[in-house]
Amino acid sequence: MATKTKRKTKTISDYRIVILQRGWVVVGKFTQTGEDCTLEKAAVIRTWGTSKGLTELAMGPIAGKTILDKTPYPIRFHELTVVATLDVNGAAWASALSQA
């Protein structure tokens, strides 16, 4: 009988854009503990508003063009649903998410 290997717990905490399965693009304060991921102070990026693609948002939302749908609660997801993450300017996104 095979035994499941227990994975080490890791915790990472910073602001990130996370691309999830089924096309969801979200942003917030990212934390991962083991396989469980959470975005606090999060929003769904409904409209990017960029001319150079998603990576342009790493510096922050485009004023008057990026549309964010703020979530009242944290977004939780399993690490295997993550397609990619983008490191972002944390100060710019923290400010934008507090106003969204």
Domain boundaries, the chain: 11-99
Q: Name the CATH topology of 11-99.
A: SH3 type barrels. (2.30.30)
- Could you report the per-residue pLDDT of 8-27, keeping only the tens digit for each? 556 666 999 999 999 999 99
Which residue's entry shows tokens 């409209």? Answer: 47
Q: What is the pLDDT of residue 84?
A: 97
> Residue 75's Cα: distance from chain center in Å?
9
pTM value > 0.75? yes
Whether 73 contacts 19, CB under 8 Å: no
| CA-derived radius of gyration, the chain | 15
- Encoded tokens for 11: 């915790």
Determine what percent of the chain is predicted with pLDDT higher than 90: 85
- Could you report the per-residue pLDDT of 25-38, keeping only the tens digit for each? 999 999 999 999 99
Q: Which residue has the higher pLDDT, 98 or 2?
A: 98
